A and B are shown apart, each in its own frame.
Chain A
């Protein structure tokens, strides 16, 4: 009997292709991992419908599980329930800030309130910031600039 790593732990530890500081577990995109007759099934929820990283994530998950001793792997994409930034873990949020990317605000008060909420600069912590665009360098981020330290920064936008 070959010792094999826990597939759920292996899957959760795979790096996000676009924000490699974070793991797929940190992002909350892994819905579940199951094993039936030695076949590992990983169900993931894409962040945005058009996110080009989704197919890379599936590829990276397969490669990581193969390397961990699971030759039979399937990655399934599920759309419902739709991914939300509320699923990013506290660890994931801390890693985002450490990487200079703003963490998303809570959606508890609804979309309009979350979009209008003040944004803290991930570098200096100032809340004296302004949004430059609702869209950024990837689908999941918007663009801001800090009026205190004058650095531009991106943030994961609430969805």
Chain B
């Protein structure tokens, strides 16, 4: 599996990478289920996780089909080692408290909203179609996350401080979302996806408006220095190992 993906064209690798982002964030949210502060929130988190899982499935199905007719979405989700997944580190971050979960969601959803809306005019028609659906779903995720960040930020001192601490903890992972490597530069040159740097100005302005409503200030911490991709983080390995557990014990299991 790993060789097939490594040998695939840049579009396929990029699509798979977007699938990794959606799958890992979906799994992080699924880990929150039964820990939400209220029943409505259990449903909301489960719904958002399911939307992200659906997006991951569309992306993996498309990428698998591009690699070969015999590959399926499951080969990409379950047939790769954790080291072969490439989500942005932001979505790997563990669920330390509800403020962290909603802060992570806000930073991600705002970025995903910019990405999907830009990708609706991708030169790749399938990716444009996936983006068209995902953009609609992401608009709800973003509204949900921003509502919670404002609610918690503009609340009791404890809620305010925990929301603030969550954003500070997540901030080092923001710059990666807007950074470019060879793969991202290649798909941008093809018009398949935007150069992520071009999304930053709008992302900054929209985030500042939400933080102002939340009586929060934008963190000033430094970006996490690039670690290279020789091996994945312990957080990512933990997520993927858990995700793979059933499949590893019962290969090819079906409902």
Do the two chains bind? yes
Contact B50 A139 (CB under 8 A): yes
Chain A residues bordering chain B, tally (CB within 8 A): 25
Contact B143 A134 (CB under 8 A): yes
B133 contacts partner chain A, Cβ-Cβ < 8 Å? yes
Which B residues touch A83, using CB under 8 A? 133
Q: A79-B133, A134-B144, A135-B140 are in contact. Are A48 and B51 (CB under 8 A)?
A: yes
Which A residues touch B53, using CB under 8 A? 50
* Distance, CA A134 to CA B109, complexed state (A): 15
Q: How far is the CB of B214 from chain A (nearest CB, A)?
A: 17
Which A residues touch B134, using CB under 8 A? 49
Main secondary structure of the interface of B (DSSP, over half): helix
Interface size class of B (residues with CB under 8 A): 20 to 34
- Which chain B residues numbered 35 to 58 have a C-beta less than 8 Å away from chain A? 40-41, 43-44, 46-48, 50-55, 57-58
Which B residues touch A48, using CB under 8 A? 51, 54, 133, 137
Q: Which of A51, A84, A134 contacts B54 (CB 8 A)?
A: A51
- Which chain A residues numbered 102 to 145 have a C-beta less than 8 Å away from chain B? 111, 115, 132-137, 139, 143
Contact B51 A80 (CB under 8 A): no
Which A residues touch B58, using CB under 8 A? 49, 79
A157 contacts partner chain B, Cβ-Cβ < 8 Å? yes
* Distance, CA A9 to CA B68, complexed state (A): 37
**Interface CB pairs A-B, < 8 A, 19:** A48-B51, A48-B137, A49-B54, A49-B133, A49-B134, A50-B51, A50-B53, A79-B58, A79-B129, A82-B129, A111-B139, A115-B143, A133-B40, A134-B44, A134-B140, A134-B143, A143-B43, A159-B137, A159-B140
Closest 3 CB pairs of A and B: A50-B54, A49-B54, A80-B129
Which residues of B are in contact with A by a Cβ distance under 8 Å?
40-41, 43-44, 46-48, 50-55, 57-58, 125-126, 128-130, 132-134, 136-137, 139-140, 143-144, 147
